[in-house]
Amino acid sequence: MTATTDGSTGAVTPRAASASHSIDTPAATAPTAGTREAAALAIQRSTDFLLSRQDAEGWWKGDLETNVTMDAEDLLLRQFLGIGDERTTRAAALFIRGEQREDGTWATFFGGPGELSTTIEAYVALRLAGDLPDAPHMARAAEWIRDRGGIAESRVFTRIWLALFGWWSWDDLPELPPELIYFPPWVPLNIYDFGCWARQTIVPLTVVSAKRPVRPAPFALDELHVDARVPRPPKPLAPATSWDGLFERLDKALHVYHKVAPRRLRGAAMNSAARWIIERQENDGCWGGIQPPAVYSIIALHLLGYDLEHPVLKAGLASLDRFAVWREDGARMIEACQSPVWDTCLATIALADAGLPADHPQLVRAADWMLGEEIVRPGDWAVRKPRLAPGGWAFEFHNDNYPDIDDTAEVALALRRVAHPDQARVDNAIARGMRWTLGMQSKNGAWAAFDADNTSPFPNRLPFCDFGEVIDPPSADVTGHVVEMLAVEGRSHDPRTRRGIEWLLAEQEDNGAWFGRWGVNYLYGTGSVVPALITAGLPASHAAIRRAVRWVESVQNDDGGWGEDLRSYRDRGWVGHGTSTASQTAWALLALLSAGERDAPSVERGIAWLAATQRPDGSWDEPYFTGTGFPWDFSINYHLYRQVFPLTALGRYVNGEPFPAGSAHAGKGS
């Protein structure tokens, strides 16, 4: 294993990681005259592999792997509600044990360092499953936890779960009052100041925070405290003149308010929160298509008197089972969410780039399914944009409240690659999606994932919010995808597109790269932006494009591939460095190919690496996490990334770019 920094494996430098090859794959061959032929063979194998995995309804979905907190919290929820069963517990424990490392810890991404809160939650889940504290694997975990300060040093969300069973005091947690639901959108710290994923989680947690429930704990957790007999001394407050000091004192005031809150006001606020939650339940019973809000919403509604047979809770609990992936060994992994729309549009683009005919039945079926997933009603985004007509697409099977701009752009690009028999239907859906996307442009000219101008500085200051991103500012990768879509739709010269381009040019790093918000990291950002700028009409000779090309070539690994470790989000030394992966190699190649570097030695070496590391069945191995939910804090391994992006890069190498720079393809299958 390379690129780990925990004490059990020793430190590996970015340079050393960059020089290594992907796990269990052969070293890439040197460029030869047969690179094009090798690429063509790889395309055929990959195309066959991808086509064989399409669902009969037309969609693709790869597993979305995160970390064991999803599995641990699922078991904790079942314990809290009293609905645990032996089969589920055994299968979850099997998966959690399988993810433990030799030093007793659990990480948040493959090859990453042990993470305290994740390790605590995994340990508690295994205890619920019957693992004894003196078992060797449990003892190693507990010792590691104590060495890092124990439960007291874990994040707020972990301590909330422990408080539910009396393993932590509610008095020692930040306060989150349900009266927040009454703040109008113009008041700082109203719920719409939070990103949609945080908003969906915070509203139910205000109810939990107000109720402060405690279920009898089935065992003690003294072994996870540094010294359970000695109370933890309070941390000194930050200076009152600082933002941190202000919010720390606000939290103290809210703790006092908790004791004196008017009963009628508090009860009304909790009921308003319940209505808000129920109104946002999706047709399949989930909330926003993601697991954490569903978990907290079920707990909140149950605390307010909704029994487990109530239709809302019954549907919510049933939806949680759909996040479970059962493996052949009997283990059960929980997905944080599911990505069928995203996977399907990317697969469609990849197959079209690979040379599949635009009227191929499987592409038409994919387009039919995507058209059926269009969102035609307002969601939370309409609070800030009340006059904007709905349109666009979400990420998941069911998520009508939170369409996202990234999916909308990529779905539009995918639909343009298909010769659909009902072209008017395609044109109208894309037109609605494009109109909605243009309406969601932020004031600075860029685009975020879910909301416009969701950039308040206050939510991140709350003591409660010590984990992950809780706001949704614009990002280069999303803006790049939007600019590319607008260019393909003939809007390259639209003033709104030009503002997006200007923002992207201003956001380029000194080294020539762009930051990747939703993928790891600068390779993803650069692989998203360069094709967009070229499609929008920037010449390959433009200074920004040349800087990007030089940076991409400068971080190519010795084996011919590219890789970037998640540590690049915290340590500049890792920027552009890491073990070669199929998806990240493809992102680098997409940037170079769009910039006209098809005959460059770096491209030949990258294509040769992809061809040489492909498995006989047409797939690639990629244990590394190259997606992000929150940079660094919550990482994702999209199991289809290793398939769709290499096929896209190989296809563009052999068949050329899909759209000539600056030209419109509205209404044309290509």
The residues carrying an active-site annotation are 406
- The answer for residues whose C-beta is within 8 angstroms of residue 481's C-beta and 6 or more apart is 406, 409, 410, 413, 528, 532
Q: Is 52 exposed, middle or buried (0-12, 13-18, 19+ CB in 10 A)?
A: exposed
**Any alpha helices (H) in 3-85, and if so which ranges?**
14-18, 35-51, 69-81
How big, in percent rounded to 5, are the helix, strand and coil portions of the chain? 50, 5, 45
Question: What's the CA gap between 365 and 27, in Å, rounded?
Answer: 38
Q: Structure tokens of 519? A: 């993928």
For 316-341, the three-class secondary structure string (H helix, E strand, C coil) is HHHHHHCCEEECCCCCEEECCECCHH
C-alpha torsion sign, points 382, 384, 388, 392: negative
Q: What length does the chain have?
A: 670
Do residues 132 and 138 make contact, with C-beta atoms less than 8 angstroms apart? yes
Q: Which uninterrupted H or E stretch holds 635?
A: strand 634-638
Tokens of 651: 């296809």
Give all strands (DSSP E) within 180-290, no chain letters: none
Neighbours of 53 (CB within 10 A): 14
Q: Encoding tokens for residue 494?
A: 């639209």
Angle at which helix 35-51 crosses helix 340-353, to 10 degrees, equals 140
158 vs 138: CA distance, rounded Å: 18
Burial class from Cβ neighbours inside 10 Å (0-12, 13-18, 19+) for residue 259 reads: exposed
Tracing tokens 């047709």 back to the chain, one arrives at: 283
Sign (positive or negative) of CA dihedral 180, 184, 187, 191: positive
Burial class (CB in 10 A: 0-12, 13-18, 19+), 134: exposed
Angle between helices 476-488 and 423-439 (to 10 degrees): 140
Q: Which residues make Cβ contacts (< 8 Å) with residue 629, sequence separation at least 6?
A: 66, 197, 336, 468, 635, 636
